[in-house]
Amino acid sequence: MEVIYVQADRCLGCKTCEIECRIAHTDTDTENTLFAAVSQLRPPKRRLFVEQGEKGKTPVICRHCEEAPCIVECISGSIYRDEQGFVRRKKERCIGCWSCIMACPFGVVVRDAEAHIAVKCDHCPDLDTPACVTGCPTKALQLVDVDSLPQERRKELLLKKEV
């Protein structure tokens, strides 16, 4: 399974990921562009957040948790796990009770007050690579295979020690 891997030390806080996220989630019949996104009556919400961490800026994004608290607390059958293992939300089932916002310990589910639905990362199911990853200019966000991750981390640590 490929997941979004965040390397906070590579993040410059440029927020390109947030913009790409919003563009990708623009509800339009034409091509999703920045122009289309900002032209919406209700511009799309971002689903990841560049925040100030202890050492610097870092993107905060849904972990698609194994035992996802948002799925546990969803009282309407809206939040579910898809075939790929990602935690998604069925729009038509959401009642805007915000139980998922109450549940998420990472604070990455947000309220779309106008549409009266909860909004969260869907891992861009229609794209090969999620928009935030494609857009990140410093590779702070990468799509990696979960199984190969420990190997890469070991390599990284070894290289760091040599410096």
Partner 1 sequence: MQYVIVGGSIAAITALNVIRANRPDAKMQMVADEAVPFYYRALIPFLLDKSRTVDEILFTEQPTDDKRVKFHHDRCVGVDSTQKVIRLESGNPLPYDKLLLAAGSSSVRPDIPGVGSTGVYTLRNMDEALKVRDALEGCGKAVVVGGALAGIKMAESLQRTGVHVTVVEQFPRILPFIADTETAQRMSQKLGQEGMAIHTNDSAAEILATDGKATGVRLVSGKTIPADLVLLMVGVRPNVEFLAGSGVDTDLAVLTDQEMQTSVPDIYAAGDMVQIHDAVTGEDVISGLWGNAVHMGRTAGFNMSGIKAVVPPFLSSFNSTEIAGLPIISAGLIHPQSEQYTVYTEAQGENYRKLIFDKDRLVGMIFLGDITKAGVYINLIRNRIALGERKDALIREVMSVLSTL
**Three-state DSSP class for residue 93:** helix
Annotate each residue in 46-75 with x if it binds partner 1 (CB under 8 A) or - if it does not, as one string: -----------------------x--xx-x
Among 8, 97, 115, 144, binds partner 1 (CB under 8 A): 97
Among 104, 124, 133, 141, binds partner 1 (CB under 8 A): 104
Count of beta carbons in the 10 Å neighbourhood of residue 94: 21
Asked if 122 and 112 touch (Cβ cutoff 8 Å), the reply is no
Among 19, 36, 110, 143, binds partner 1 (CB under 8 A): 110
User: Encoding tokens for residue 49?
Assistant: 């957040």
Nearest to 109 by CA among 58, 75, 135, 71: 71
Residue with Cβ nearer partner 1 (53 or 129): 53
Is residue 16 classed exposed, middle or buried when 0-12, 13-18 and 19+ CB atoms within 10 A define those classes?
buried
The stretch among 19-27, 105-113, 120-128, 135-143 that binds partner 1 (CB under 8 A) is 105-113
Distance (Å, rounded) from C-alpha 31 to C-alpha 26?
9
Asked if 88 and 122 touch (Cβ cutoff 8 Å), the reply is yes
The stretch among 12-20, 31-39, 98-106, 143-151 that binds partner 1 (CB under 8 A) is 98-106
Instruction: Give yes or no for residue 77 binding partner 1 (CB under 8 A).
Output: yes
Among 95, 115, 143, 144, binds partner 1 (CB under 8 A): 95
Among 107, 125, 145, 155, binds partner 1 (CB under 8 A): 107
Residues 6+ apart with CB under 8 A from 9: 55, 56, 140
Instruction: Give yes or no for residue 96 binding partner 1 (CB under 8 A).
Output: yes
Residues forming contacts to partner 1 in the complex (CB under 8 A) are: 69, 72-73, 75-77, 80, 93, 95-99, 101-107, 109-111
